Amino acid sequence: MEGVDYLADERKKTEFDVEEMKIVWAGSRHTFEVSDRMAKLVANDPVFRKDDRVMLARKDLFKNTLRKATYAWKRINELRLSEEEASKLRSFVDEPAFTDLHWGMFVPAIKGQGTDEQQKKWLPLAYKMQIIGCYAQTELGHGSNVQGLETTATFDPQTDEFVIHSPTLTSSKWWPGGLGKVSTHGVVYARLILDGQEHGIHGFIVQLRSLEDHRPLPGITVADIGMKFGSGAYNTMDNGLLRFDHVRIPRDQMLMRVSQVTRDGKIVQSDVPRQLVYGTMVYVRQTIVQDASIALSRAVCIATRYSAVRRQFGSSNGGPETQVIDYKTQQSRLFPLLASAYAFRFVGEWLKWLYTDVTQRLQANDFSTLPEAHACTAGLKSLTTSVTADGIEESRKLCGGHGYLASSGLPELFAVYVPACTYEGDNTVLMLQVARFLMKTVSQLGSGKPPVGTISYMGRIEQLMQCRCAVKKAGDWLNPNAVLEAFEARAARMSVSCAQKLSKFSNPEEGFAELSADLVEAAVAHCQLIVVSKFFEKLQQDIPGKGVKRQLEVLCGVYSLHLLHKHQGDFLATSYITPKQASLANDQLRELYSQVRPNAIALVDAFNYTDHYLGSILGCYDGNVYPKLYEAAWRDPLNDSVIPDGYEQYIRPLLKQQLRVAKL
């Protein structure tokens, strides 16, 4: 029935002010209002329709994306949207496109690594989209190991130019989004060669296509790399390949904030650390953490609403069957994901602050917090994307068979999301960077330089190595100090144990390689501690609205205790807790699930997602799932005719043959 809210009874159970929770989720009233306005603008515009996407062949799909991206740009200009509004609008269009890389990497690379003069020249062109850019770093043979890139940029002092060249097949650029068919320019990463000597990897602005007819410029070979995982999904993006045959660019197109090359071909290093060449990746990793909470919350919203609609077993006297959300097993799989979505939201908010802080310091030539910013962005990118990718797949399973339908929205969400575990740094490679930072911190303990920021707990290492958990009853696990100490002791002990094992190797690099699996586990423990502690910090803030803070306390409990339960091996092996205390944590967790249950629907309503953005019949706001599934089935092109194409050619002769066999 039109207009009926099938989840109304669920919504009546809510114990908190959902409107206020929407503000908490958005980050501020202003952000909420902008998001809400942009989401509705996109949802109400038929050009942004996306339910047909999985049916389209690649060429049509790509052209459709070009149409939407161009139309979005037109609307942004017509409505004179601010940068914030424009970025929200693009995100609600919800379709990977060349614009993601233009705004998300090309522009930030010029901003972060270009001199003032270079910014003045290139940014206005990019802001007006008079040039379209991509970020061309990865090569066919080299992705994780940036120092292993093979593309060369050789300075020619005769002409005051760099010669960009791809010396081997494996040096072909491979993967950059927007490169395959659209970008006119790229920030290309290459090995700088001056007078026959190598000077490491640097970024160069290179024009790739003519601004007149879009043809590749002389010496440039460029194409799309082909279909990727899933239908629809990331295939809207033209990830590309690119080869250079001695392509010449003016000297001033090397991004020169970190190092400058003079007219006579000498390199001048500024005070800026060389790692700032990697600055765009740090920026994007930070945004990926914020995006993880969005992707996970979408999947959880779908799975939660559908779990309240779906009923299986337990009917007595002809009454309705049990809502699957009432099964404890369903709760123990779903509610930790719900809590993780909120946890990632808050840690993402904090990471954005950290990034802004480090950027301001860098501008004042204070580089002291750069190593921590690198470790936090790398580690949290790795942790949150891994959990989110697994969480989307778990949400699909939580929806049973119907979760496998494209119309559930989950298969496409998964296919679009999973590469986040790989791009911007493979998750294992990034966790090893965190481990390197942890080992360095442990080795410097006692040097008189106290660890600060997210690593400051290491300053209490003696206490953390000796303390024992004081929990006596399940309710004691609700005490934030008990939980924090447990996570700190676990992280500290795992790091120290790795450092002790490492010290037995005469060659530290060999030891690091040998122990790398243990080191990744220690890094994960450290990153989980950051998320838990940032959730507790959020709860210290003034949070208005009836029952809002209480719900967040419950979710924080679910987040931390489900991790404690899942990783109880770590907590037991490091002798911080006893098996009895582990069991009490699990008892408390079960109790918390019961407290989440009546509020579950309202907690996902607080994400404020439109049905358009969710793109899921199972997750639609009114819960009217079955008629919508039935109607959607009829819209499938296969159902355009009763007798399928191919009947005469294949099915009929087959059946005829069966008939002949039967007559024999």
Ligand X SMILES: CCC/C=C/C(=O)SCCNC(=O)CCNC(=O)[C@H](O)C(C)(C)COP(=O)([O-])OP(=O)([O-])OC[C@H]1O[C@@H](n2cnc3c(N)ncnc32)[C@H](O)[C@@H]1OP(=O)([O-])[O-]
Ligand Y SMILES: Cc1cc2nc3c(=O)[nH]c(=O)nc-3n(C[C@H](O)[C@H](O)[C@H](O)COP(=O)(O)OP(=O)(O)OC[C@H]3O[C@@H](n4cnc5c(N)ncnc54)[C@H](O)[C@@H]3O)c2cc1C
Could you give the 3-state DSSP secondary structure of residue 69?
helix
**Of 393, 424, 485, 521, which residue is the catalytic one?**
424
Instruction: By CB under 6 A, tell whether 382 contacts ligand Y.
Output: no
Residues numbered 78-107 forming contacts with ligand X, rule: CB under 6 A: 100
Instruction: By CB under 6 A, tell whether 279 contacts ligand Y.
Output: no
Strand stretches in 453-560, DSSP E: none
| CA–CA gap between residue 620 and residue 17 (Å, rounded) | 21
Q: Closest CB to ligand Y among 206 and 339?
A: 206
Task: Tell me the HSE value of 478 on the side-chain side, using a 13 A CA sphere.
Answer: 13
Neighbouring C-beta atoms of residue 28, cutoff 10 Å: 11
Closest distance to ligand X from the beta carbon of 245 (Å): 23
CB 574 within 8 A of CB 490: yes
| CA–CA gap between residue 27 and residue 24 (Å, rounded) | 5
Instruction: By CB under 6 A, tell whether 424 contacts ligand X.
Output: yes
Q: Closest CB to ligand X among 415 and 558?
A: 415
- Residue-level length of the chain: 664
Which residues partner with 192 through β-bridges? Answer: 153
Closest distance to ligand Y from the beta carbon of 36 (Å): 30
Instruction: By CB under 6 A, tell whether 172 contacts ligand Y.
Output: no
**Residue 356, contacted partner among ligand X, ligand Y, none, CB below 5-8 A by kind:** none
Residues numbered 238-257 forming contacts with ligand Y, rule: CB under 6 A: 239
Angle between helices 328-363 and 370-398 (to 10 degrees): 160
The first and second tokens of residue 509, run together, are 């690099």
Q: Which of 121, 142, 311, 436 binds ligand X (CB under 6 A)?
A: 436
**Residue 239, contacted partner among ligand Y, ligand X, none, CB below 5-8 A by kind:** ligand Y
Closest distance to ligand Y from the beta carbon of 176 (Å): 4
Stretches 383-391, 398-406, 425-433, 646-654: which one binds ligand Y (CB under 6 A)? 425-433
Q: Which of 423, 505, 536, 647 binds ligand X (CB under 6 A)?
A: 423
**Residue 85, contacted partner among ligand Y, ligand X, none, CB below 5-8 A by kind:** none
SS (H, E, C) 270-299: CCCCHHHHHHHHHHHHHHHHHHHHHHHHHH
Q: CA 476 from chain center: how many Å?
A: 34
Q: Closest CB to ligand Y among 110 and 432?
A: 432
424 is catalytic: yes
| CA–CA gap between residue 178 and residue 192 (Å, rounded) | 25
CB 15 within 8 A of CB 598: yes
Query: Strand 247-250 and strand 259-261: pairing?
Result: unpaired
Q: Measuring CA to CA, which residue among 283, 233, 529 is closest to residue 383?
A: 529
Residues numbered 107-136 forming contacts with ligand Y, rule: CB under 6 A: 135-136
Stretches 60-68, 423-431, 529-537, 656-664: which one binds ligand X (CB under 6 A)? 423-431
- What value, to the nearest 5°, has the Cα angle with vertex 90 and ends 397 and 604? 40
The residue written with tokens 């320019």 in the block is 185
Which residues make up each annotated binding site? 138, 177
Q: Which of 281, 289, 398, 515 binds ligand X (CB under 6 A)?
A: 281
Residues numbered 108-167 forming contacts with ligand X, rule: CB under 6 A: 135, 137-138, 144-147
Residues that bind ligand X (CB under 6 A): 100, 135, 137-138, 144-147, 177, 275, 278, 281-282, 370-371, 374, 423-425, 429, 433, 436, 440
- Indicate which residues carry an active-site annotation: 424
Residues that bind ligand Y (CB under 6 A): 101, 135-138, 143-144, 175-177, 234, 239, 419, 422-423, 425-426, 428-429, 432
